[in-house]
Amino acid sequence: MTQEFDFIVVGGGTAGCLLASRLANTALKPTVALLEGGGDISKPEYRRTAERFSTIAQPGLDYGYASTPQEHAKNREVPQARGKGLGGSSATNFQVWSLGARAEFDAWAAAAGDDAWAFESVIERLEKLHLNDLSEEWAEYVKPDPKYHGFSGPIDVSIGHVERETKAFIDAGVDLGHKRNLDPNDGDLIGFSLNSTTSLNGVRVTGASAFLEKNVPANLTVLTESRVVKIIFEKDRAVGVLKEDGSQVRAKNEVILSAGALDSPRLLLLSGVGPQTDLNALGIPVVKNLDGVGKSFTDHPMIVTCFQMKSGFTDRMGLTDPSKYEEAVKQLAESGNGPLLGHFSSVPHAFLKNDRAYESPEFKQLPADVKSYLLENGVPSYELVIGPLIPPDHVFEQSSDGFFSVFVANMNSVSRGTIKLASADPKDAPLIDPKYLSNPFDLVNLREALREGMNLLKTSTMKDHFVRPIFAPKSDSDKDIDDFIQENVAGLWHPSCSVKMGKSEQDGSCVNGDLRVHGLNGLRVVDLSVTTILPRSTAVIVAYVIGQLAAEKIARDYGLDTKRREKI
């Protein structure tokens, strides 16, 4: 028997969980189906903040996609993470809550022709932050401004227990001439800072835990293990979806894709929405010739480095003994307390301009509008962030030794890639081609960013703790750094822009500011694929904002709830 609902949300990820819950809880109580290809992944072992860097490696939590061979990265096939299960990538990410620059969101709004996507509008929708009582020792390192945070939504966001190396990282940045930024979420994120995290008291919050664990209304149906393979159209209107098992689910009002930047374009293409030439080549009947589908794909290209440090530099070695770790897990489960609250609890960042890269011939060859945007106040060139031990099986000479691991990421990649179909068979993974480093400036930018990351070890704050590199370029020469980048570059798990937003299909976009697919009825896309640019945000915060704005726009269009605006 075919099921029918007022709204179908395809994808129970970060944005999808929020959107389905918001729609179902409006005053008119429409029937909503949330279809998720994975299962319920709410196990305690998936929710511990102490394991924020390793959750993504848990079996069954990721679709296992990989890129096509990357021409400018030694022809490597690079893993492309996509969260599988309720909560999606919010259940597997690094839990960082970081908003982008004011100029980035304002540029997005201008491209979409809709001020709902501008910075001030976005801030109105971010209303939840738990602030721990930090000691006076940390007052000069972190001081969130209440104007840019809120206290009334369901997503737990906190500044966790601060780890020892956080202070060293920020002080080393100051040694290099950079500023401290007491609140990187105020629209200007330049400087060294301590970011918030999507957890509270050592426990991760996900899209599912925030929106689907409590008070789920009877008019919301959650269908797990229900992978969608095609959108069903009647002429130019989406009327339902076809599941992998051959069954159909029908929509009275709308089908809403929230399958992420890798699978939303894939579903559109499988359903006959995309570049006509590509669809014809695969024998897929064309419903809508929409050239932008799968184009403009981007991520934050990333490199990881790791250095051995002397005993006493880090707090992160205290639980390397498996028996001690298991005891800490038991203590957290039984009392909500213990050493796990402080293990990998801090996420210090630096968002920086890259003056050396801006002086390069490669920068000067960029289009004028790109150069102007990159030079805007508050728009960073790159990010530095403390990470886990790389490689994780590294053996130290002494058990008391420590490590300092730095992720280095390009924040505004100029290269753009594609998402295409390998065939018309839904079982085949998409052809994901990020085209890492295909624009020469991206390599220059990442090179100078990596060089600055290594310079941290030379500062007065760090040099006496440094022992040797564990995973790093052979030297700080251009050639050795470039080789290291090309051998190891990957994405920061922020895939975006593959079904981008704009004013019309003539500008290469796929959806308008209301998230409706150009030229079609009853179909929207609500996930990171719609971003016009990839803001220097963590993907989770943007996904939640997209879901919230979509809920407001859909409620407005259907008169579902005219009296209430909820906050994230």
What is the percent of the chain where pLDDT is above 90? 66
Domain span at residue 190? 66-77+131-203+300-491
**Number of structural domains found in the chain:** 1
Give the model's pLDDT for residue 445.
97
Say which residue, 93 or 344, is predicted with more confidence. 93
447 located within any domain: yes
Span 334-354, average pLDDT: 79
Using the 8-state DSSP alphabet, how is residue 35 labeled? E
395 located within any domain: yes
Known binding residues for FAD are 93-96, 228, 493-494
Q: What is the pLDDT of residues 287-332, one digit of tens each?
A: 999 999 999 999 999 999 999 999 888 877 666 777 877 887 788 7
Give the model's pLDDT for residue 136.
57
Distances from the Cα of 295 to the Cαs of 97, 187, 261, 265, 272, in angstroms? 27, 28, 11, 9, 16
* Contacting residues for 568 by C-beta, under 8 A, at least 6 apart: 18, 125, 126, 127, 128, 150, 153, 154, 155, 544, 545, 548
Q: What is the pLDDT of residues 104-147, one digit of tens each?
A: 999 999 999 999 999 999 988 886 544 444 555 677 788 777 77
21 located within any domain: no
Query: And the tokens for 525?
Result: 């896309």
**Which H/E stretch holds residue 210?**
helix 207-211
**Residue of 12, 18, 253, 13 lying closest to 128 (CA atoms):** 18
507 located within any domain: no
Q: What is the pLDDT of residues 203-249, one digit of tens each?
A: 888 999 999 988 899 999 999 999 999 999 999 999 999 999 999 99
Give the model's pLDDT for residue 565.
55
228 located within any domain: no
476 located within any domain: yes
9 located within any domain: no
Answer whether 228's CB lies under 8 Å from 37's CB: yes
Could you give the CA distance from residue 436 to residue 450 in angstroms, rounded to a whole number? 16
The DSSP bridge pattern shows strands 228-234 and 237-243 to be antiparallel
Answer whether 82's CB lies under 8 Å from 260's CB: yes
Question: Within its chain, how far is the Cα of 184 from the centroid?
Answer: 17
**Count of Cβ atoms closer than 10 Å to residue 53 Cβ:** 18
**Residue of 252, 249, 253, 251 lying closest to 2 (CA atoms):** 249
Q: Within 13 A of 493's CA, how many CA atoms are on the CB side? A: 22
Q: Which residues of 492-523 are buried (b: 16+ CB within 10 A; e: fewer)?
A: bbbbbbbbbbbeebeeebbbbbbbbbbebebb
Could you give the CA distance from residue 459 to residue 448 in angstroms, rounded to a whole number? 17
Known binding residues are 93-96, 228, 493-494
Span 454-461, average pLDDT: 97
Give the model's pLDDT for residue 130.
43
The model's pTM: 0.93
Give the model's pLDDT for residue 54.
67
In which region does residue 328 sit, left (phi positive, over 0), alpha (psi from -120 to 50) or beta (all else)? alpha
Answer whether 31's CB lies under 8 Å from 52's CB: no
Instruction: Calculate helix-pair angle for 14-24, 539-558, nearest 10 degrees.
Output: 30
**Count of Cβ atoms closer than 10 Å to residue 435 Cβ:** 20
Place 486 in a pLDDT band, splitting at 50, 70 and 90.
Answer: very high
Answer whether 9's CB lies under 8 Å from 540's CB: no
Least confident interval from 10-14, 164-168, 358-362, 559-563: 559-563
Place 343 in a pLDDT band, splitting at 50, 70 and 90.
Answer: low
Least confident interval from 36-45, 131-140, 365-374: 131-140
CA atoms 132, 133, 137, 140: torsion sign: positive
Span 68-87, average pLDDT: 95
Residue-averaged pLDDT of the chain: 90
Answer whether 195's CB lies under 8 Å from 347's CB: yes
Q: What is the pLDDT of residues 499-508, one digit of tens each?
A: 999 999 999 9
Q: Is the pLDDT of residue 381 over 50?
A: yes
Query: And the tokens for 189?
Result: 């994120």
Output the domain CATH number for residue 315.
3.30.560.10
- Nearest 5°: the CA angle 38, 80, 405 is 110
Q: What is the pLDDT of residues 97-111, one digit of tens each?
A: 888 889 999 999 999
375 located within any domain: yes
The DSSP bridge pattern shows strands 418-420 and 431-433 to be antiparallel
* Most confidently predicted of 98-102, 394-398, 548-552: 548-552
Say which residue, 178 or 132, is predicted with more confidence. 178
